[in-house]
Structure 1
Amino acid sequence: MTNTIAARIADFLSNYPPFSLLEKDQLHSIAQQVRINYYEQGKAIFLKGEKVHEHFYIVHKGAVDLQKVDEKEEPETIDKCDEGDVFGLRPLFAKENYQINAITDEESVIYAIPLTDFKPIAVSNPQVGNFLMESFASNTRNPYSNEHRGKLFSDETEVSFNKEVLFDLQPIPMVKKMVTVSPETSIQKAATLMNRRKVGSVIVVEEQKPVGIVTDIDFRESIGTGRFRIDDPVNVIMNSPVICYSKGITIAQAQLTMMKHNINHICITKDGTPNTKVKGIVSEHDLMVSQGNNPSVLMKAINRARSTKKLKKIRSKIMFLLQGYIKNNIPLTHISNILFELNDATIKRTIRRCVDKMEEAPPVKFAWMSLGSQGRKEQLLHTDQDNALVFEDVPEEKLEETRAYFLKLARKVTKRLNIIGYEFCPAEMMARNPKYCLSLSEWKNQFSEWVTNPGTDEILLCQIFFDFDITYGEVRLTNSLADHVFGILKGNKNFLTRLAAQALRNPSPLGFFRQFLVEQDGEKKDLFDIKKRGIMPLTDAGRLLILEHQVKNISNTAERFEKLAQLEPNNKELYLACAYSSKALIKFRTRQGLKYKDNGRYINLADLSKEDKVKLKRCFKTIKEIQELIKLRFEVTYI
């Protein structure tokens, strides 16, 4: 008769090294000897100086803190063991007492593996022996996890770009709206045309056929050095003959041609020779933008973009860049900084173009505020737009007229942002909504009202608006607003208490025995909401604690916790764990979103590896710990 308990133990052990390296019969033999121990929270499995046990251990459910003890007998947690983690291996190698404590961090079920039964298998199985030797030598519980250190997810499933053809063999888009001049045109007139059209070259044509090309470099080398006068004809400084290709030249061809001829522009003609009509031009800049792998080039492209359609194309390049960063496991701080700047530049360029298209100049100075994830510099994927607008105070009789102007501008901006890829906010929390297009005094009154009479809706609005970042306009306005907000918050314990209660509205996302809490009904039934249950609790906690300390100009969640670690050294370990967990969860959501081409918010747990689940649970433990701190500090629970 099959021992069902041993079979379940073997099934669990098979997922984790070194047991995953055993033969099937060896695994079942070990499983039959395993002892199952239950510990309440805070119980010692072994202590420093204690004689070694006859077993080593693996966590089945719960968590265990490994602690070193200093000269003053003060314990310090140096590692945390979670589901599948092995500890207490030292007796296999060193005949000495335990050097650390192992204390349960929560209710736990621990499997005890007898050394006498396991050691012969370790000796006879080279893979198991190597694992244990490396573990002991490197002082790590699992040396095989080094390749995943610092990552939330495993590399078992890579993001696929689904490219049917090699990228370098794709055609490079040409610029059709090029500037052309005749050979007799003066250098000054050609330069004026280039400046007016914001381009870096002009094509010299005769009967619409290219005979030469003049670039910024030619003006610098020929005119700036005094070799020619500005009233000389442009043909004296043009480069000729012109290198031509037909439409459809590939990225690889363009790269090789520019390198071979030491040029940075290629003319596109009807048949690919200088004998037919010029159709367009390809520049080295266009080539780099097409490659989409250089943030500085993308930034220049954004700032030069003269249409929403162009900005939308650049946005797709930014997503391609993000895929590469995530695939190569670039640190999230680096990714966030770059993506924030590119997103910010895109929004700024859109606003600037819309201002230029308005019939009149803005009647007063104003500032465009990005809210939510963009305001916190955490927006990586395509998410909805949250924004607001503040304008200078005007006389009462001009207030509505001024607001009407900025509402019209906001409608233009939000419409174009939607085309680019930033979805409309379902709750209409956008500058085109009269509620969020206010004068400076109105905004100050609004915040005072929210803070003075903080109902649930007011608290939610405050949380969003506390994370704003100026994207465009007069920084003096947003600074004044920030000063006002911190002024009314100073010493306002009642509001901070309500904010604390709201920060606990999403408790730790693990149920009894650490099972994930998933959606119970609706369209997302059985899916895990990583934003609501993982990212938002840390965001809310970081915001609350940084406001308590009256720290301005830090809106990013990880940066807030890193600052808190400096301000409260006694809680440094917890705050740094929160900073790491915030970045790890955002990166995990981003990878899921890129993989499934959505916003990554809802996750099918069946698609995750066991390692992913374990590492997510470690992040969620941090959420539980920071919420416990908030409960004690502000003496609240969720209302």
Structure 2
Amino acid sequence: MQAELIEIRNHLAQHSPFDDMAEDTLDQVVSQIEVAYYRAGSTITELGDLSTHLYYIRSGAVEIYRRSGELYNRLSEGDIFGQFGLMMNKTVRFPTKALEDSLLYLIPAAVFQQLWETDESFADYVEIEDRTRLRTAVSRREKGNELMTARVTRLISRPPVTAPTTIRLQEAARIMTEEGVSSLVLMDESGDKPTMAGIITDRDLRTRALTEALPSETPIRDIMSTGLITIHSRAFIFEAMLLMLHNNVHHLPVLDRDEPRGVISLADVIKYETQSSLFLVGNIFHQQTVKGLKAISKDVRHSFVRMVNEDANSHMIGSAMAGIGRSFTQRLLELGEEKFGPPPVPYCFMALGSMARDEQLVVTDQDNAMILDDRFEPELHDGYFLSLARFVCDGLAACGYRYCTGDIMATNEKWRQPLRVWKDCFSDWIDNPKAEALLNSNIFFDLDGIHGDTQMAEELKALIAGKASQSQRFLAYLARNALNRTPPLGFFRTFVMEEDGKQNNTINLKRRGTAPISDLIRIHALACGSRAQNSFERLQAIGETRLLPEGSVENLRDALEFIAIVRIRHQALAIEDGREPDNNVRPEDLSPFERNHLKDAFQVVSNAQKFLRYRYQAPVGRSLG
């Protein structure tokens, strides 16, 4: 092959849809390519012209127009155009002009037709647009992970062992021993139809019966667990894993039409969940000292890398990492209460930010706060809560969760307040959206009560959901603030790089990728009164309304998933290479597949921000935040 053709072949092989093409097929394509040069401003194709070629941009930039003359898209190096005319009526459907001096490779219609009919990957690519390609890329990952596609019924090996709530402790232990099970589902038989009332596990027998030396005649209803966390039989294994992580439960009843079909245990899921994040959570609660917690904290990164290598999606990984971080916090609070004694008044320890959203990764700091009972008296009680907060935050830092540089931690007196004060703060931030109020809203409106009287956190969620949805002024200012963080996509779909010292010529996938999406999703969720915290769950709530145009929710979900997974892979590779992980990637380190679909994802974010300004009539001018 001539040197010129080799150069053409090498360039095509870096971009879709040619990067997955068989070598012999690609050689045949290259051998029939024509090369054309267009000066800036010149017409390439006109509406109604005969479609004769598929165009590939070697260099320069091209503008695509609708029939009305309205600008439709801008394309740059590695992009193709002209396929729709070749597939439809053999005439040009979208006129094109050279925006810059452009060098194009022209693939004859006959070659295109042959590829379209014989190469399935090529046909899939040219038949769908950017956002549909992004959906295909995301769904391909989901289908490749068994945790995402296998239902919980696969883990059920036998029907549940049940007993009435009227039995005694000794009888419950005998049934569990004879049946060889670690849990017993207890049924209320007082009504017309038996209903599930609770569960007793071998762990309960040890901690609630043997440790307390309870008599064998103790009614089982006195020690059974009620208010059960359950899962539907059609749920997936990954959903069971997330439920166990989030609620720190070891047994999960599986229901079918409200009747127990089986019980899956921690051990059942671990057999499938080879990343062992659930095993790590169990190990956390066995530690008796901060030193012990610190010793096992190194396993967090190992678990993260294993999940990435098993092709888990970003929701699974983010939820698992948040579950692990939440477990470290909960165990530190338990140890703190053992050290300092029981709290003088009830309290709730809140996680904020990515941990509250179940979107935490390995590059993270700690954001937390305390809600105190309204009977709290600073001079009598604050010494205890300050000591507890310091113990927990220092312990988290020892386990790899950095101190918050903005001091958003329970050690800060400002973020250790009675419930009534928190309610006043949240109301004031919504009623008076000044700079500091908007900043605080972005941080504190992602919250999750993880220890203590968590109902206090639920009251704050209810206040936010009810009040923010009624304040168009607040939403408008919050939207304007969100528009400050734009995706790193330039005028010609080229990447816009960071220009800050050692991170120069990189893309920050958190600050310019996942964070802008999280911001705009939060605003839409607030507008529809959702209490959901996770971005994917917020999108589901938004999708149940008519808040966004058709298809927007799916596009945002795919964009968030793809940007997040590229960020996750980048961090996992750094850990495997012995480097400190971060959020900054260099485009040249990405595969052509990742570069192309990142552009698609960033374009979705850009379009969503335009709609955000329109939807909330975000005031123009300098941001308050």
1:380 matches 2:361: yes
- Rounded to whole Å, the distance in 2 between the matches of 1:492 and 1:582 is 27
User: In the alignment, residue 425 of structure 2 is paired with which amino acid?
Assistant: Q
Report the 3-state secondary structure (helix = DSSP H, G, I; strand = E; otherwise coil) of the residue aligned with 2:89.
coil
Picking from 94, 105, 119, the partner of 1:134 is 119
Picking from 364, 369, 374, the partner of 2:345 is 364
- Rounded to whole Å, the distance in 2 between the matches of 1:400 and 1:500 is 41
- Rounded to whole Å, the distance in 1 between the matches of 2:332 and 2:98 is 51
2:61 and 2:98 in contact (8 A); partners too = yes
2:372 and 2:419 in contact (8 A); partners too = yes
- Rounded to whole Å, the distance in 1 between the matches of 2:491 and 2:398 is 45
Picking from 607, 610, 615, the partner of 2:589 is 607
User: In the alignment, residue 342 of structure 2 is paired with which amino acid?
Assistant: A
User: In the alignment, residue 435 of structure 1 is paired with which amino acid?
Assistant: K
- Rounded to whole Å, the distance in 2 between the matches of 1:545 and 1:342 is 28
- Which sits farther off after the overlay, 307-316 or 22-31? 22-31
In structure 2, the CA distance between the partners of 1:104 and 1:563, relative to structure 1 (3 Å rule), is farther
User: In the alignment, residue 35 of structure 2 is paired with which amino acid?
Assistant: Q
1:366 and 1:474 in contact (8 A); partners too = yes
Aligned length: 489
Shift of 1:106: 13
Report the 3-state secondary structure (helix = DSSP H, G, I; strand = E; otherwise coil) of the residue aligned with 1:519.
coil
2:466 and 2:529 in contact (8 A); partners too = no
Instruction: Note the residue ranges of structure 1 that are not aligned, 5 or more in a row.
Output: 68-76, 124-128, 155-199, 201-215, 225-229, 231-284
User: In the alignment, residue 550 of structure 1 is paired with which amino acid?
Assistant: G
2:485 and 2:512 in contact (8 A); partners too = yes
In structure 2, the CA distance between the partners of 1:487 and 1:114, relative to structure 1 (3 Å rule), is closer
In structure 2, the CA distance between the partners of 1:91 and 1:99, relative to structure 1 (3 Å rule), is closer
1:55 and 1:113 in contact (8 A); partners too = no
1:33 alignment partner in structure 2 = 35
Shift of 1:472: 0.8
Alignment of 1:490-501 (within 5 A): 490-501=469-480
2:550 alignment partner in structure 1 = 572
Shift of 1:24: 11
1:85 and 1:141 in contact (8 A); partners too = no
Report the 3-state secondary structure (helix = DSSP H, G, I; strand = E; otherwise coil) of the residue aligned with 1:571.
coil
Shift of 1:538: 0.6
Alignment of 1:521-600 (within 5 A): 521-552=500-531, 554-568=532-546, 571-597=549-575, 598-600=580-582
Alignment of 1:59-208 (within 5 A): 84-86=78-80, 88=82, 97=89, 114=106, 116=108, 119=110, 133-135=118-120, 139-141=124-126, 149-151=136-138
Report the 3-state secondary structure (helix = DSSP H, G, I; strand = E; otherwise coil) of the residue aligned with 2:298.
helix
User: In the alignment, residue 14 of structure 2 is paired with which amino acid?
Assistant: N
Shift of 1:365: 0.7
1:382-415 deviation line (CA, Å, top 9, x unaligned): 41001111110126xx234322221110000011
1:318 alignment partner in structure 2 = 300
1:152 and 1:616 in contact (8 A); partners too = no
- Which sits farther off after the overlay, 97-106 or 517-526? 97-106
- Which sits farther off after the overlay, 490-499 or 98-107? 98-107
In structure 2, the CA distance between the partners of 1:498 and 1:9, relative to structure 1 (3 Å rule), is farther
User: In the alignment, residue 624 of structure 1 is paired with which amino acid?
Assistant: S
1:15 matches 2:9: no
- Rounded to whole Å, the distance in 2 between the matches of 1:566 and 1:489 is 18
1:225-266 deviation line (CA, Å, top 9, x unaligned): xxxxx9xxxxxxxxxxxxxxxxxxxxxxxxxxxxxxxxxxxx
2:372 and 2:417 in contact (8 A); partners too = yes
Report the 3-state secondary structure (helix = DSSP H, G, I; strand = E; otherwise coil) of the residue aligned with 1:380.
coil
Picking from 307, 318, 330, the partner of 1:336 is 318
1:176 alignment partner in structure 2 = none
Shift of 1:311: 2.5
User: In the alignment, residue 12 of structure 2 is paired with which amino acid?
Assistant: L
Shift of 1:618: 1.1
- Normalising by the residue count of structure 1, what TM-score does the alignment of the two structures yield? 0.65
1:63 and 1:82 in contact (8 A); partners too = yes
1:590 and 1:600 in contact (8 A); partners too = no
- Rounded to whole Å, the distance in 2 between the matches of 1:336 and 1:501 is 27
Report the 3-state secondary structure (helix = DSSP H, G, I; strand = E; otherwise coil) of the residue aligned with 2:371.
strand
1:392 alignment partner in structure 2 = 373
User: In the alignment, residue 365 of structure 1 is paired with which amino acid?
Assistant: P
1:55 alignment partner in structure 2 = 53
- Rounded to whole Å, the distance in 2 between the matches of 1:105 and 1:451 is 48
User: In the alignment, residue 97 of structure 1 is paired with which amino acid?
Assistant: N
Report the 3-state secondary structure (helix = DSSP H, G, I; strand = E; otherwise coil) of the residue aligned with 1:425.
coil
In structure 2, the CA distance between the partners of 1:29 and 1:133, relative to structure 1 (3 Å rule), is closer
- Rounded to whole Å, the distance in 2 between the matches of 1:14 and 1:478 is 53
- Which sits farther off after the overlay, 573-582 or 331-340? 331-340
- Rounded to whole Å, the distance in 1 between the matches of 2:615 and 2:134 is 38
User: In the alignment, residue 126 of structure 2 is paired with which amino acid?
Assistant: R
1:498-540 deviation line (CA, Å, top 9, x unaligned): 1111010112312232232222233423332211111111111
1:355-403 deviation line (CA, Å, top 9, x unaligned): 1111x310111111111111111002141001111110126xx234322
Alignment of 1:401-420 (within 5 A): 401-420=380-399
- Rounded to whole Å, the distance in 1 between the matches of 2:538 and 2:95 is 30
Picking from 407, 410, 427, the partner of 1:428 is 407
2:497 and 2:507 in contact (8 A); partners too = yes
Shift of 1:299: 2.8
1:35 and 1:111 in contact (8 A); partners too = yes
User: In the alignment, residue 118 of structure 2 is paired with which amino acid?
Assistant: M
In structure 2, the CA distance between the partners of 1:401 and 1:297, relative to structure 1 (3 Å rule), is same
Q: RMSD of the TM alignment (CA)?
A: 4.7
Alignment of 1:208-247 (within 5 A): none
User: In the alignment, residue 54 of structure 1 is paired with which amino acid?
Assistant: T
Report the 3-state secondary structure (helix = DSSP H, G, I; strand = E; otherwise coil) of the residue aligned with 1:508.
coil
- Normalising by the residue count of structure 2, what TM-score does the alignment of the two structures yield? 0.66
Report the 3-state secondary structure (helix = DSSP H, G, I; strand = E; otherwise coil) of the residue aligned with 1:34.
strand
- Rounded to whole Å, the distance in 2 between the matches of 1:533 and 1:415 is 30
Report the 3-state secondary structure (helix = DSSP H, G, I; strand = E; otherwise coil) of the residue aligned with 1:513.
coil
1:558 and 1:583 in contact (8 A); partners too = no
- Rounded to whole Å, the distance in 1 between the matches of 2:475 and 2:95 is 34
User: In the alignment, residue 565 of structure 1 is paired with which amino acid?
Assistant: G
Q: Which of 1 and 2 has greater Rg?
A: 1
Report the 3-state secondary structure (helix = DSSP H, G, I; strand = E; otherwise coil) of the residue aligned with 1:385.
coil
User: In the alignment, residue 534 of structure 2 is paired with which amino acid?
Assistant: N
- Rounded to whole Å, the distance in 2 between the matches of 1:520 and 1:136 is 38
1:253 alignment partner in structure 2 = none
2:227 alignment partner in structure 1 = none
Instruction: Note the residue ranges of structure 2 that are not aligned, 5 or more in a row.
Output: 67-71, 142-181, 183-201, 211-215, 217-266
Shift of 1:300: 2.2
1:298 matches 2:280: yes
User: In the alignment, residue 482 of structure 2 is paired with which amino acid?
Assistant: A
- Rounded to whole Å, the distance in 1 between the matches of 2:122 and 2:562 is 28
Picking from 328, 334, 339, the partner of 1:346 is 328
User: In the alignment, residue 586 of structure 1 is paired with which amino acid?
Assistant: A
1:383 and 1:599 in contact (8 A); partners too = no
- Rounded to whole Å, the distance in 1 between the matches of 2:540 and 2:95 is 27
1:514 alignment partner in structure 2 = 493
2:427 alignment partner in structure 1 = 448
